[in-house]
Amino acid sequence: MSGQKRTTWTGPGPASPLVDARGLRELLASSPPPVLLDVRWALTTGPDRDGFDDGHIPGARFVDLDAELAGPPGPGGRHPLPSAAVFEEAMRAAGVGEASAVVVYDAGPATAAARAWWLLRHHGHEDVRVLDGGLARWVAEGLPLDTSDGGTHDDVSPARGDFRCGPAPSTGPGSSLEADGALGCAARGVLIDARAPERFRGDSEPVDPVAGHIPGAVNRPTTANVRDDGTFLPADALRRQFDAVIGGIGGRPDEVAAYCGSGITAAHQVLALQIAGIPARLYPGSWSHWITDPARPVATGDR
């Protein structure tokens, strides 16, 4: 393991998975600064490398969600987890070391950034935070952007890190379950469907070939996690909302999991639950994996 000293976090507390724009600026001025990963991405347009090249937070390294934070679409769903070897190489190429503090960000509401946060936690790297509000908040604070070529020249390429994929946790951030586990969680605890209500009900399905939801799941869209400016609601507000969902269906906080269409936005739900102090697991394959087996049941309607 590297002897590099870890960056000291500042902000709301050591357990917070978030850092605000001003706090990140202070961290980037520290020695050593955190490794900063830009994971801008959208479902309809994919990774936004062009946006990164047009302007990014100084010192950031671009990570391609489709190629480095997901495996090829197929039986595992639309965005299955990448292999450990692919993810490890991506993190090393971006300069992440075993002792690195890491901050991840995207364009705004942290949907893609949450995937990177969750994967790092999944592979045993705990020293990672998400920029609350993403690049939009950085710009709104009047903070500078780097409009160079994106750090691809030899003289500014990041030094390779020594990141290694460790064992996945069994509970809390980074923990996961598969299809049978998701169905069991819906029966024993709380399985949160993070998609829009019309997709949960099966009224419309613009992405996947089958509409509906996993029986026993409860709907709470990820859009409920954030304010209009893309920053997360305060922890106490999130806790009240999640407690209402959990208590309303008789669930237990120690049996909470989330899924979505393909495992991306559900990571945002897990992040929000972590902010609220509720440990939760992720079903990475999510609905796009669930429907690959026609024997798995499909529910429609509100419940």
What's the CATH code of the domain at 229? 3.40.250.10
Looking at the structure, tell me whether residues 67 and 123 fall in a common domain: yes
User: Does residue 98 share a domain with residue 29?
Assistant: yes
Specify the number of domains making up the chain.
2
Q: Do 114 and 39 lie in a common domain?
A: yes
Cα Rg, the chain, nearest whole Å: 19
Task: Give every residue of the chain whose pLDDT is below 70, as ranges.
Answer: 1-15, 149-157, 249-253
Residue 108 lies in a domain: yes
Q: Are residues 112 and 211 in the same domain?
A: no
From the candidates 107, 258, 260, 291, which is the catalytic residue? Answer: 260
Q: Where does a domain end: 140, 169, 192?
A: 140
pTM (2 d.p.) = 0.92
Answer yes or no: do 105 and 32 share one domain.
Answer: yes
Cis before residue 32, ω within 30 degrees of 0?
yes
Q: Is residue 115 part of a domain?
A: yes
| Residues in the chain, total | 303
* Per-residue model confidence (pLDDT) at position 8: 37
Cβ within 8 Å of residue 118, ≥6 positions away? 173, 174, 267, 270, 271, 282
Residue 193 sits in which domain range?
Answer: 179-290
Q: Tell me, what's the pLDDT at 148?
A: 77
pLDDT at 249: 66
- CA–CA separation, 52 vs 40, rounded Å? 8
Bridge-based pairing of strands 60-62 and 256-259 is unpaired
Please work out, in degrees rounded to the nearest 5, the angle formed at the alpha carbon of residue 185 by the alpha carbons of 295 and 69: 80
> Is the residue at 165 inside a domain?
no
The last residue of a domain, from among 140, 167, 195:
140
134 and 227 assigned to the same domain: no
N- to C-terminal Cα distance for the chain? 49
Residue 11 located in a structural domain: no
Domain shared by 126 and 191, yes or no: no
User: What digits encode the pLDDT tens for the residues 191-250?
Assistant: 999 999 999 999 999 999 999 999 999 999 999 999 999 999 999 999 999 999 887 766
Last residue of a domain, one of 140, 170, 200: 140
CA-closest candidate to residue 26, choices 125, 162, 141, 160: 141
Same domain, 102 and 207: no
Domain contains 147: no
For the question of residue 260 being annotated catalytic, the response is yes
What pLDDT is recorded for position 253? Answer: 64
Q: Is residue 281 part of a domain?
A: yes
